[in-house]
Chains A and B, each alone.
Chain A
Amino acid sequence: MNGPAADAGLDTLLADIDAARSQGLAAIAAASTADELSQTESGLFGRKSVLGRIKQGFGSLPAEMRATAGRALNEAQQELRTAHADAADEFAAAARRTQLQQEWLDLTETPPGPGRGHLHLVTQTTERLEDVFVGMGFTVSEGPQAETDWYNFEALNLPAAHPARSMWDTLYLDLGERTELGDGEGGEASSVVLRTHTSPVQIRVMESGAPPIYTICPGRVFRRDTADASHMPVFHQIEGLVVDRGISFADLAGTLEEFTSAYFGKAISSRLRPSYFPFTEPSAEFDITCVICGGAGCQTCQRTGWIELGGCGMVHPNVLANCDIDFEEWTGFAFGFGIDRLALMRHGIDDLRDMYTNDIRFLSQF
């Protein structure tokens, strides 16, 4: 079947397909709910739908006509399916939106959780100091807080009745049986004190191990002091000890300078001034650039531009000898300063006592 009659038949068929497509799209667009949409499905895609019936009639068509009409019909069906699926997605999304709206929450009305706690300022400062020294190749040593007179004084070149013992107001422990102490002079090698510095840890390190030694000793120390804005009977110190071959005073100065710029920043430097400690010789006072004024001079540094940080020096030969270290072969240096004061300085705290009230309003600030 060729010729004009056949052409006319094809045109009609194509027009029918196009009409069915348009009606189908209109039906999809007309659906206002997901239910209505699903009700359109059989009318659009079922065997009895307009397009379905046209397709069923294809069997009687000549081959070339069937190909053209078939292509048109497939396109129409595809278009309807896409439109239907899009519409279905839209209804689903709208339904989900509606559902989520029900879950509205004021996030600011949530009661506070346990939150995070706070490390004590002394711990924070100690760890920061430890980290700097560990970075410089030091280990961290610890020792008992109650010590014999030997470790706290005598081994440190402070024999009994040494006048310099009055530099420390010492607390003694009452462990029974021990002989009566005369006028706070102490002196019994076996009398037990609360360590007045962490230097006894240095002695223990030297006694128990051979040089080279590069270690720091942070820890709690005790003095018979009345508490005031800048003193507490219980406070914290960090000391450092280096014993190696060829260690010199220049090594002490260089190490403290390296520490100073690592801990306080490049703008802060250090200086050493002659001083006196029984356990070091030569001894020095260790100053740093005033961290408040940067060295220009202010109230804090009494206009000198420097603040005193601690003491240091070359380990006294008697101290090395007390630990059976040959001071001709090995030399060393030691230094020490307060941890609490660094914490106060860093945060502008005026009164040391505030740090030990354990008031959560203080603790939670840091």
Chain B
Amino acid sequence: MKVLLSWLREFAPIEGEPAELADHLSDLGMAVEEMRVLPPLDGVVVARVAGLRPHPEADRIQLVDVELPGATGEGTDGALQVCCGAFNMTEGDLVPLATVGTTMPGGLEIGERRLRGQLSQGMCCSAAEMGLGDDAEGIMILPGDLELGAPLMDQLGLAGDVLFDLEVNPNRPDAMSVAGVARDLAARLGVPFEIPEPVVIETGEDISTVASVDIIDPDLCGRFGVRVIRDVSIGPSPLWMQLRLVLCGMRPINAVVDVSNYLMLELGTPNHAYDLALVPDGHLGTRRSLGGERVVTLDGAEREMLRGDGVIVDRNDRIIGISGVMGAENTEISDRTTAVLLELAWWDRLSISRTSQRLGLRSEASMRFERGTDHELVPIALDRFCELLDRVTPGGVSVCRGRLDGRGDLPETARVRVRPARMSHLLGRPFSADELRGLLDPIGLRCAALDDDTDGALEATIPSFRPDVETETDVAEEVARHYGYGKLGRTVPRSPEPGRLTPMQRLRRDLRRVLVGAGLSEAMPNPFLAPDALRRAGIDGVEPVLLLNPLASEESVMRPSLLPGLLIAAAYNSSHRNDTVSLFEIGVVFGPPQPKGADPTARGTAAADVLPTETEHLGVIWAGGEASDAVHLTDLIATAFGLDVELANANDIEAMHPVRAAEVILGGQTVGVVGEVDPVVCERHGLAQRCAWLQVDVEPLLAAATEAAGRPYQLVSTYPSSDIDLAFAVPDSVQASQVRSTLLAAGGTELRSVELFDIYRGDQLASGTRSLAFRLRMQADDRTLTDPQVAEIRQRCIDAVENTHSAALR
């Protein structure tokens, strides 16, 4: 929302440095995104085109004889000669002339120079060159009543004017107008604010003889005001109006459209002008569409209405506009228009919002209606339109007597109880009733004391331009805004409990650091996958959760596994000549909901049943790594958290190497997979090397770690230990880990550790058999083990392995 300081001053005597005013605006919640002080540009003066001559050497430049009082030059009859690339002026026009020595807003310095041999003694200016809008097409033609030779910006009343570009929050419909901004700023500055009463001279017939209104659906339209204006001529609006519109970001069209836009900017009241001649009997009706009706809007597009959309219809029920969104072509103002039927309505906010969003038609008008316009302004705005149009039409217009004022359902005036104690509590500073009144009255929230109220509360009457203020808390924001957010105090509340991470959160951090310590880096792949990413990763057996409205189909699947994302990451690095990266991720994977029978009508708890399952996984990919690397990593994690993790060789796990994979087992439960990625999958991703892979469910891992973290101390024995080595010929069908478990179980409490230290396959062994050599350490807590005792444990271990695994001691 752009506002000019000079325009604000038409509503309140606002004084002060521009920067100071900008700070106030920002502090009031209308953040100044840009502020521009219009330069005085004293060197740009009003001059007259005395003659036009072709340039002897160039087609695209002409020579202009410029008449400027007190200046003589190289042109015809002593006029200044200016070379000019525009051809839109004619003899006698007043134009802006940048005299020699002037610095233009863009930094260009005007000097006397020659263009293709011809002297140019200044520059005729376009609007853009003076910083007055985007129009760079032609030279700005000035109105004839300006003083020749005087500085232009001065003559236009723009010198030193300030343009503020404000960011207006969606809850501030009032700030979508010059008047509303002026009201807020005036309250802050403590100066009076007033919307001047428009002066309308009614010379036409009574409006009731030429127009009528019918609100068919009162819940759609709360108020529908109409004026009729005759003797309208469709010419350009005057320069001052055009300039204000241009500076505020609107394009001048013609006097009627410009007045309409000007009024919308000024009072925040969107309006629509129909060609009276095209509306049978001047009758305007409004209703909700039943759906299926079609209308061609002002932008030339044919639109189909849905049931419930608001429309404006004529006497024959023909649609002549979409309520609050856009008018129709069939009643549009044109060069032939001589009488205007003016609509100024108040629409239901949600209806407008729905229709404009659905049609993708978000206009300046619909934006204001959506936020809520001020229905009490309807008669004033109608009159202001007439006043403005009369002022900008040469010879004036003729306004019909009276207004039509159709009424539908309007919101009731809200009254809010405002307790000083509550305000003080919410804002952290004592506010007295008087202080509150002093802050609220100037912005139109009129406060009255409630006589019989024991809390000393006030009652604030909420004005029609603040539909956003509904509750006491809303009023608190108004108090805070006008008191100043920055002036409210700063205190720090203290939690009665100390701050901390949960054990799981701390352990999750530890897990990351264990992995980082092992040389892995943390990746964050996209959790959205392309539809074929699962197949490419060798995952077929899952039904993934899909996005309903993905931005692109490449991002339409919620990952059911971390593998595809990490494969893509590894492949990305490989394609950038980093073949042996090792990456990990701790992240959530998604699966279909698993209803547990929650009450479907309970809004909160029922969530568990409709939500997809989310499981936190650790995924590790190690391009160039082998299964043993992944196993070592598993051991590292187990050791770091004091866990007994077991592996169970498993063939043909999805996406894994058919015979180089194992399930990770913790406390008897499978919590993950370790091994190598299926080489076919690797190749599909352009990964030439093997890829080690580890995936673990984080929750059970960290839950076990939490438990292990609290385990009691085991006294370190002070007695000597004995080591013995045992080697067994074991069939390949028996896992080394099984032999180890058997040894540990057979050895009893005095067998302290079992380590696999050698594996041998060769001629001396039957095929399908390998030698596994273990080192056993034995120790007692209370004595030195004697040789016979060690021998006894040894024999127990041998017997157990031989009996359990059809293995033989070597």
Which residues of A pack against B, CB within 8 Å? 113-120, 122-123, 127, 130, 133-140, 142, 144-148, 150-151, 154-155, 161, 163-164, 166-167, 171-175, 181, 183-185, 189-190, 192, 194, 203, 207, 212, 214, 220, 224-226, 233-234, 242, 244, 246-251, 253-255, 257-258, 271-276, 281-285, 314, 316-317, 331, 355-361, 363-364
Contact = CB atoms under 8 A, between A and B. Distances in A.
B427 to A, nearest CB: 5
B7 interface: no
B610 A148 contact: yes
Interface string B130-174: 000000000000000000000000000000000000000111100
Nearest to A236: B524
A361 B578 contact: yes
B501 interface: yes
Contacts of A181: 548-549
B492 A172 contact: no
A134 B476 contact: no
B500 A139 contact: yes
B428 A272 contact: no
Contacts of B491: 248, 250-251, 254
Interface stretch (B75-83, B109-117, B352-360, B673-681): B352-360
Contacts of B584: 117
Contacts of B752: none
Shortest Cβ-Cβ A-B pairs, 5 listed: A274-B29, A250-B428, A248-B428, A114-B519, A282-B477
B477 A183 contact: no
Contacts of B489: 250, 253-254
A117 B527 contact: no
Nearest to A249: B427
A138 B525 CA distance: 30
A233 B528 contact: yes
Contact of A254 (B26, B426, B490): B490
Contacts of B525: 356, 358
Contacts of B323: none
A212 B476 contact: no
A119 B522 contact: yes
Contacts of A146: 545, 558, 590, 611-612, 614
Interface in B573-607: 573, 576, 578, 581-584, 588, 590, 592-593, 600, 603-604, 606-607
B498 A137 contact: yes
B477 A281 contact: yes
Nearest to A137: B495
B558 A248 contact: no
A231 B545 CA distance: 24
Given A271-B486, A272-B485, A274-B481, A117 B515 contact: yes
A146 B611 CA distance: 7
B505 A281 contact: no
B473 A281 contact: yes
Nearest to A184: B549
Given A117-B519, A119-B512, A254-B491, A148 B611 contact: yes
A123 B515 CA distance: 14
Contacts of A120: 521-524
A173 B519 contact: no
B517 interface: yes
A40 B29 CA distance: 103
Given A192-B610, A276-B172, A359-B572, A214 B428 contact: no
Residue of A134, A173, A244, A361 most packed against chain B (CB within 10 A): A173
B495 A234 contact: no
A282 B497 contact: no
Contacts of A276: 29, 169-172
Interface string B460-498: 000000000001011011001100011011111111111
B257 to A, nearest CB: 27
Contacts of A140: 501-502, 505
Contact of A150 (B428, B495, B593, B604): B604
Contact of A251 (B172, B428, B528, B551): B428
Residue of B493, B497, B525, B610 most packed against chain A (CB within 10 A): B493
Contacts of A175: 545, 592-593, 610, 612
27 contacts: A117-B515, A117-B517, A117-B518, A120-B521, A123-B512, A150-B607, A163-B353, A171-B549, A171-B550, A172-B547, A172-B549, A173-B545, A175-B545, A190-B606, A190-B610, A192-B612, A226-B551, A248-B491, A254-B491, A271-B485, A274-B27, A274-B29, A276-B169, A282-B426, A282-B480, A282-B481, A360-B581
B358 to A, nearest CB: 6
Contacts of B604: 150-151, 155, 203, 207
A239 to B, nearest CB: 16
Contacts of B592: 175
Contact of A137 (B427, B494, B569, B603): B494
A214 B495 contact: yes
Tell me whether chain A's interface is mostly helix, strand or loop, or mixed. mixed
A363 B493 contact: no
A300 B317 CA distance: 56
A317 B611 CA distance: 27
B485 A255 contact: no
B495 A163 contact: no
Contacts of B495: 137-138, 212, 214, 242, 244
A133 B499 contact: yes
Contact of A361 (B26, B474, B569, B576): B576
A251 B528 CA distance: 39
Nearest to A175: B593
Contact of B547 (A127, A173, A316): A173
A155 B602 CA distance: 13
A199 B807 CA distance: 61
Contacts of B517: 116-117
Contact of B26 (A155, A226, A273, A358): A273
Contacts of A194: 547
Contacts of B521: 117-120, 360, 363-364
A171 B515 CA distance: 33
Interface in B536-551: 545-551
B86 interface: no
Contacts of B1: none
Interface string B547-581: 11111000100100000000001001100101001
A177 B101 CA distance: 75
B736 interface: no
A189 B582 CA distance: 43
B425 A135 contact: no
Nearest to A122: B524
A150 B473 contact: no
Contact of B492 (A134, A163, A254): A254
Nearest to B611: A146
B429 interface: yes
A218 to B, nearest CB: 10
A331 B426 contact: yes
B473 A317 contact: yes
Nearest to B32: A304
Residue of A117, A135, A145, A189 most packed against chain B (CB within 10 A): A117
Contacts of A314: 426, 473, 476
